[in-house]
Amino acid sequence: MNPNRLTKFLLAFALLSAQSVAQAEYLDAIELPALQTEAATQSLLLDITRVGDRIITVGERGHVLLSDDHGATWIQGQSPSRMQLNALTFVDDSVGWAVGEGGLIIRTDDGGKNWQRQYDDGLEGPFLDVLFRNNQEGFAVGVFNRMLHTDDGGESWDDWGEHVDNLDEWHLMAMAATGPSRDRIYIASEKGLVFRSTDQGESFEAIETGHQGTFHAIAARRGADGEDRIVMVGVGGVIYTSTDGGETWARIDSGTDLGLASVTWLDDGGLLAAGAGGVLVRLLPNLQQADTRYTQNGESLSALVQLDSNEALLVGFGGLHSFNFQ
């Protein structure tokens, strides 16, 4: 064979081999279990929750971390995929779900130590949040009006997008539910929209808040008067609140124009929101006044849980961070 032709052949073979390997790695990422690594606590973490005395957080590369000592030490759970996990939810101390990129949904039955893949659809787009009304019925939402519904604990999932009054297919960013049976469900979205269901998730109506931007997170709680308190936060540091189940809305001055990525109820009835640049906004229980602070390292934050009356555990870029918000 001509030396030049041989060189070209070898180069072409090498390129094709490299491309095949890259494609195989890309396609296999959702199938490969997450790697066990001590660096997971410093990786990008995107959601966190309390399950009894345990704290569980999830993030990039399928990482799941657990702590049984208020965040002092961590172990890594066994996750079936290396795809990024964006959100998680639990219905009791044992049973929970997490969702992420590639349309991935995984489930645990032992409090987050071991997970099994229940659903994925490759490159259809990520799920951004997951919510279960009980141990059987739940929903997963994501980009372009993606919504799935299950009534058998995630063994099977049905396309639920047509149940949402969302003809423009705005992204469904985050969910919250209220009531003893979690019968009212709210979904934060784009264009200042929130989608509300008053029939246990059978249908979702579009409600305008007067805002034109994107809401990234939502928190909702039923008051003693039977009305739902709702708080949504998002791009530009916006905070919108409702004390009548979404019928009317008020914009609260957050003191920042940095994007807010999460909002969580505090034990005193107030809320704490976190976001870009390490910003933290504490909303008082009256849902009318806000106090803005910043973490020292300025790392952008994704989610948080309250540890005690003075301290919160934050996750985001750089992994885990603690913060005293008194």
What number is the average pLDDT over the span 226-255?
Answer: 98
| pLDDT confidence of residue 163 | 98
Mean pLDDT computed over every residue of the chain? 92
pLDDT one-digit tens code per residue, 63-91:
999 999 999 999 999 999 999 999 999 99
| pLDDT confidence of residue 310 | 85
What number is the average pLDDT over the span 245-267?
Answer: 97
What number is the average pLDDT over the span 184-188?
Answer: 98
Whole-angstrom CA distances from 88 to 9, 45, 49, 105, 248 are 49, 12, 8, 10, 29
Cβ pair 148, 160 in contact under 8 A: yes
On the question of pLDDT at 22 being above 50, the answer is no
240 vs 253: CA distance, rounded Å:
9
% of the chain exceeding 90 in pLDDT: 87
On the question of pLDDT at 291 being above 60, the answer is yes
Phi, psi values for residue 324, rounded to 5°:
-95, 115
DSSP string, 65-129: EEESSTTSS-EE-B-S--SPEEEEEESSSS-EEEEEGGGEEEEESSTTSBEEEEE--TTS--EEE
Judged by DSSP in three states, 6 sits in helix
On the question of pLDDT at 146 being above 60, the answer is yes
| pLDDT confidence of residue 309 | 83
153 vs 140: CA distance, rounded Å:
12
| pLDDT confidence of residue 185 | 98
What number is the average pLDDT over the span 54-59?
Answer: 98
17 vs 6: CA distance, rounded Å:
16
Cβ pair 95, 104 in contact under 8 A: no
Q: How many residues does the chain have?
A: 326
| pLDDT confidence of residue 123 | 67
Cβ pair 140, 134 in contact under 8 A: no
pLDDT one-digit tens code per residue, 226-238:
999 999 999 999 9
